[in-house]
Structure 1
């Protein structure tokens, strides 16, 4: 398998480049980072077969992730916050139901995410930590189309701000605003086992009423290129690309003189083992080229169970 990795790497870079060129963030204009330098979606969550809606039935997916970052980068890639250290552990429970109903030739499904999160933050000599429920995600209309080798899924994820939030705290489990996220996921899997998957998302954020801060719109994508060795094992490389496309505003005024530009890339190995009605995925994603965001490493252990 070692001989295959250089090929995967080249293809992954090509997909990232194409995504950047086609994304709204590649157009002229000023980009900015969301409030606090974060985002509603945990980038990098999806991987193999992300565009393939499963057959009718009920499914449970558990995302266990750990993120650590000791740098918060400014718009030039230099350290922005002294003594910065961020550690986040999250266990996200996702429930999916795929119906037998057809809409526009696609299977109709619904899902919900319930995140439990622990966050530990140190910044400029201050520190804070928090554990509890994060913002819940629901989607009442997910549509999945299938051909022999190509799969497409589309939907609208809605982030409901139920997580705890206090503008005076460093550690916040919720973002205190709604996010509406159109999603388009695609998977190509050929007969030899080669796979390319991408999940493209675009976020529209409402205003944070406590701070009068409205985070700009965000484009981001999870990407995976892999090879299915057999029915049990798949390996590859994956990661994500994030770029915000409109300015943040506070009290109706653009934040900063030239915007608070936000961007980050990541890449790393991913492996999956499937057994009967279950699958287990391990992956590591290392961030680079961060702008006005934390830059660190993310680790995942994901479980899928089909009832």
Structure 2
């Protein structure tokens, strides 16, 4: 396996090469920091990331060969919000089970393959949701487990565990709550992977500005920013740090037929800098179903 191939084996649910964590930027958008009231919820995310190029390590420059592919994930998220109060917040818990398809054709590494499998599972024993007259806030903590196979570049697993801490808030900018602005941050702390590399800590920041058109429809702008905030350690590490930035649009519709919310979003990545390893660039399409049960 050549050096470049070793460098880009790190594709995981994060849909990025060695970004330093599991979390998918662009999963949450408008009112992404608002926790629902007590009850049981299924959230299904269909995310497709189209890769059109790879950035060379430590730069924002494309590797000058044909390097493309797709990562498609169906993330199944179960959330239970209890009637128990903790620190003045509604207390809950969650689990995420992703199914991931990776289809790569990277000429730079001489690698082409496609695989589908269950990815690394997330267990979140702490979800806290606060609610005010014109604001919501969230705090959460959990761990991405190293449960999936990570032997090949197209394997579903990352090959390491990640502790993920979450915080954020939503504010309603008018009395009828039809105009909102939200911000959500995820901080990931990673363990050493199977090859001896410990990816640096990573921050994912997501934002959304939404306007309700009527009781069923909401439209708005969304975006995400992701930064590696500490250096990689161990095998293959360098002082380079990864970052990526995207902006897009989102629409949602409350369906009385299914008794849930359907969302669709598109993100275009406009700035990417690779860290210790090559990083992909492209665009993301997300479809979401939120269904109480």
- Distance, in Å, in 2 between the alignment partners of 1:236 and 1:131 is 33
Asked whether the equivalents of residues 18 and 199 of structure 2 are also in contact (C-alpha less than 8 Å), the reply is no
- Name the counterpart of 1:205: 190
2:199 corresponds to: 215
Which position in structure 2 is the counterpart of 1:62? 44
Secondary structure at 1:207's aligned position in 2?
coil
The residue number in structure 2 matching 1:286 is 268
Alpha-carbon offset, residue 162 of structure 1: 0.9
The equivalent position to 1:250 in structure 2, one of 219, 223, 234, is: 234
Residues in 2 aligned to 1:188 and 1:149: alpha-carbon distance in whole angstroms? 6
Query: Retained in 2: the 8 A contact 1:34–1:248?
Result: no
**Alpha-carbon contact 2:88-2:130 (below 8 Å) kept:** yes
Q: Does the 8 Å contact 2:148/2:156 carry over to 1?
A: yes
Q: Deviations over 1:163-214 (max 9, x none)?
A: 1111xx2212111111001100211123241111111011100001x21110
Cα distance change, pair 200–34 in 1 and its aligned pair in 2 (3 A): farther
Residue matched to 1:295: 281
Counterpart among 17, 23, 34 of residue 41 in structure 1:
23
- 1:185-204 aligned within 5 A: 185-189=168-172, 190-192=174-176, 193-204=178-189
- Structure 2 length-normalised TM: 0.87
Provide closer, same or farther for how the CA distance between residues 231 and 115 of structure 1 changes in structure 2, counting only shifts above 3 A. Answer: same
Which consecutive unaligned segments of at least 5 residues does structure 1 have? 1-32
Q: Name the residue aligned to 1:76.
A: 59
* Residue in structure 1 matched with residue 140 of structure 2 by the alignment: 155
Alpha-carbon RMSD across the aligned residues, in angstroms, is: 1.7
Q: CA deviation at 1:81?
A: 6.5
Which residue pairs with 2:114 in the alignment?
A: 129
Please report how far the alpha carbon of residue 122 of structure 1 lies from its aligned counterpart in structure 2 after TM superposition: 1.6
Change (3 A) 1:159 1:176: same
The 3 A distance-change label for structure 1 pair 260 and 80 is farther
Give me the whole-angstrom Cα distance separating, in 1, the residues matched to 2:283 and 2:143. Answer: 26
Distance in 2, Cα, partners of 1:164 & 1:173: 6
Q: Secondary structure at the match of 1:130?
A: strand
Question: Cα deviation per residue 1:111-153 (whole Å; 9 max; x = unaligned)?
Answer: 1111001001122232121101001111111111110111001
* TM-score, length of structure 1 as denominator length: 0.83
5+ residue gaps in structure 2?
A: 1-7, 11-16
- Aligned-pair distance for 1:228? 1.1
Q: Is the helix fraction higher in 1 or 2?
A: 1
Partner deviation per Cα, 1:202-244 (whole Å, 9 max, x = no partner) = 1100001x21110000111111111111211100010200010
**Structure 1 residue 288: Cα displacement:** 1.5
Aligned length: 268
1:110–1:142 Cα contact (<8 Å) kept:
yes
Counterpart contact for 1:155–1:183, Cα < 8 Å: yes
